[in-house]
Amino acid sequence: MSDLYPLGLRLSGRRVLVVGGGPVAARRARGLVEAGAVVRVVAPEACEELASLAAGAGGPGTGGATVELVLREYRTGDVDGVWLVHTATGDPAVDARVAADAEAARTFCVTAGDATLGTGWVPAVGRVGSGGDEVTVAVSAGRDPRRAVAVRDAVAAELQTGALPLRRVRATGSRAGRVALVGGGPGAPGLITARGRVLLAQADVVVADRLGPRMLLEELADDVLVIDVGKTSGNHPVPQDEINALLVEHALAGRDVVRLKGGDPYVLGRGGEELAACRAHGIEVEVVPGVTSAVSVPAAAGIPVTHRGVARGFSVLTGHEDTGSVPGGPDHTLVLLMGVSRLAEAAATLVTDERPAGTPVAVIEDGYGPRQRVTVGTLGTIAALAEAAGVRPPAIIVVGDVVRLSPHWTATA
């Protein structure tokens, strides 16, 4: 049997004493401040981090909260009236005295130097999620802190990747639902951000695009509602106003909604419209950036959109726009999204005195997907080459001298 009884303490607004002025005491004080405790630190000298906390410059998570810093030796009466004591002086005799005084005052005490002296132990703690949906992982490992940290990190990593469940099971009050606009990247499941994976693992409803990382949908629990609003060229079965209405409807019903989009929500993804629709109904919205296909898919084909001595900038536009008005020559990269159906027209209008017909072009199909393929040519030849190859969406078109840096260009030279 273990003599350790795991317990979480609510310290918000309660007085806590930290004895010691070094880095260990500073870590303890910071954690206590983040938990909302009223912290008093007693030490003859204080390290820089403790001084910053005392000055109100605590940094992220502290909300500008301060600690009371008392620069003197510890006194027995310091433990009076506090709910918890942490001692980390580096002096075994002082730590033992603090622990004995806390015992006499019937106050739990954590001793950093010699854990056997204390009546409490601090586990290795990791937090995943935010707000009311935060999951806290606390690991104690037989007073072996490195072992505890290793186990904590392994569990936290599994939570962050969605391998372990993060969804709420029991409702806690009448909490309103929220919406997260998550950029899923170009489609490969490994290219979504860690924050995006966490939100996806917490979701009650997922409204999914066709070009997002759809393989991740297979990992969701059976009771997660997945609504497919994917669009194909010329086929938009769910109009944008209906997508907006879906997000609002489910969030107002108290559900956490993830709008899983391909690329980045704000790069030709209409994320701004969805944000505005939700905020108009008072719904909390989080926007999670994604790896935009405008940059990542060319990279998959070995094409940097900028390169020293070749291109100093780039423009991103849809193939439906008037490409004839785009300025710049071969040293300014153009990335066209959704442009396969009008490739011949776009290539013809892009030819100018500055951007001749011999300007290199690459068409990358299904970037990072199972049928990724690259077709290269020039503005004068790419339309015929793409038609002969049977190029089909989704595809990214790159125009400019940076295409010459791709191994696909070298192979055809």
Give tens-digit pLDDT for 249-293: 999 999 999 999 999 999 988 999 999 999 999 999 999 999 999
Q: How crowded is the C-beta side of 59, counted as CA atoms within 13 Å?
A: 10
Look at residue 338 and tell me if it is in a domain: yes
CB 220 within 8 A of CB 206: yes
- Tell me the backbone φ, ψ of residue 138, rounded to 5 degrees: -125, 125
Look at residue 359 and tell me if it is in a domain: yes
Q: How many domains does the chain have?
A: 4
Question: Token pair of 232, please?
Answer: 């194909």
- The conformational region for residue 143 under phi > 0 = left, psi -120 to 50 = alpha, else beta, is left
Q: Does the pLDDT at position 226 exceed 50?
A: yes
**Residues 353 and 399 grouped into a single domain:** yes
Of the three residues 242, 258, 291, the one that is the final residue of a domain is 291
**Residues 102 and 116 grouped into a single domain:** yes
pLDDT for 359-383, tens place per residue?
999 999 999 988 999 999 999 999 9
**Residues 268 and 307 grouped into a single domain:** no
pLDDT of residue 270: 92
Look at residue 405 and tell me if it is in a domain: yes
If one compares 123 and 66, the residue with the highest pLDDT of the two is 123
Q: Does the pLDDT at position 234 exceed 60?
A: no
Q: Does the pLDDT at position 112 exceed 80?
A: yes
Question: Token pair of 53, please?
Answer: 């906390």
CB 408 within 8 A of CB 302: yes
**Residues 197 and 277 grouped into a single domain:** yes
pLDDT for 130-155, tens place per residue?
656 678 888 888 777 788 889 988 88
Rounded CA gap, 21 and 29, in Å? Answer: 10
Rounded CA gap, 122 and 87, in Å? Answer: 12
**Residues 357 and 246 grouped into a single domain:** no
Look at residue 30 and tell me if it is in a domain: yes
* Sequence-distant (≥ 6) Cβ neighbours of residue 28 within 8 angstroms: 18, 86, 88, 110, 112, 122
Rounded CA gap, 336 and 363, in Å? Answer: 9
- Which residue range forms the structural domain that includes residue 81? 1-122
pLDDT of residue 406: 95
The three-class DSSP label of residue 289 is coil
- Tell me the backbone φ, ψ of residue 69, rounded to 5 degrees: -105, 120
Look at residue 168 and tell me if it is in a domain: no
pLDDT of residue 411: 82
Of the three residues 265, 291, 317, the one that is the final residue of a domain is 291
Active site residues: 209, 231
Of the three residues 274, 291, 308, the one that is the final residue of a domain is 291
Q: How crowded is the C-beta side of 274, counted as CA atoms within 13 Å?
A: 29
pLDDT of residue 413: 64
Q: Does the pLDDT at position 395 exceed 80?
A: yes
Look at residue 37 and tell me if it is in a domain: yes
**Residues 303 and 248 grouped into a single domain:** no
CA dist 122 → 53, 58, 95, 152, 159 (Å): 20, 21, 16, 13, 21
Look at residue 47 and tell me if it is in a domain: yes
The three-class DSSP label of residue 288 is strand
**Residues 204 and 268 grouped into a single domain:** yes
Rounded to two decimals, the pTM is: 0.69
Rounded CA gap, 238 and 391, in Å? Answer: 26
Q: Does the pLDDT at position 345 exceed 60?
A: yes
Rounded CA gap, 105 and 83, in Å? Answer: 10
Look at residue 166 and tell me if it is in a domain: no
CATH number at residue 333: 3.30.950.10
* Sequence-distant (≥ 6) Cβ neighbours of residue 127 within 8 angstroms: 134, 135, 136, 137
